[in-house]
A and B are shown apart, each in its own frame.
Chain A
């Protein structure tokens, strides 16, 4: 059974860079059939797509975040990562990693809360 697990600091200072890693187990991240993505959810609000990374290494990002987001993959560790720079309080959210199966997300991590505060 495929499992995804987010990890990273739960507290980030304003103007710094948020960094999260998603570890995939029970399947290979190198598969050309599936892709990998990040989604976030501010407290009490809805889901917001952040971006995806494909088997070719190419990426798609939400236009509203594109200037601050980088998604990368480390196939040797079966992990993919998210970096979000110049964070503000508005970036406080639960961050989810997920597997993109064609154009829907079929497996999700449990999510990790990241708070931006000094």
Chain B
């Protein structure tokens, strides 16, 4: 089955840029979605279809996808961005949903 690999953790200072990667075989040919999950809460969709944002998500959240890596970028990081982040795609070969391993973002 399709495997999506994320770094376990990313640390970033307030005001800086955080980049969270999601690696998969030829992932650039798939649509990738990103979720933010704060402690004890349900996941929230922050980017869908590689780079689109739901209406209530700040422009500081952006996404890109090419080759074997998709990336979620958080600009001007704030303390409130501290959370776990998961990538997700629909594997067209198996017709199943796949989640990435998750990345914990720590704001220093």
Contacts and interface: CB of A to CB of B under 8 A. Distances in A.
Interface string B94-105: 111111111000
A53 B57 CA distance: 27
A110 B40 CA distance: 9
B86 A47 contact: yes
B54 A47 contact: no
Interface size class of A (residues with CB under 8 A): 20 to 34
B43 A47 contact: yes
A26 interface: no
A103 B100 CA distance: 15
A111 B42 CA distance: 6
Contacts of A96: 42-43
A109 interface: yes
A108 interface: yes
Given A47-B86, A108-B43, A110-B42, A103 B99 contact: no
Interface stretch (B17-25, B44-52, B65-73, B74-82): B44-52
A-B CB proximity, top 8 nearest: A103-B90, A104-B33, A49-B97, A108-B42, A47-B99, A46-B102, A104-B48, A111-B42
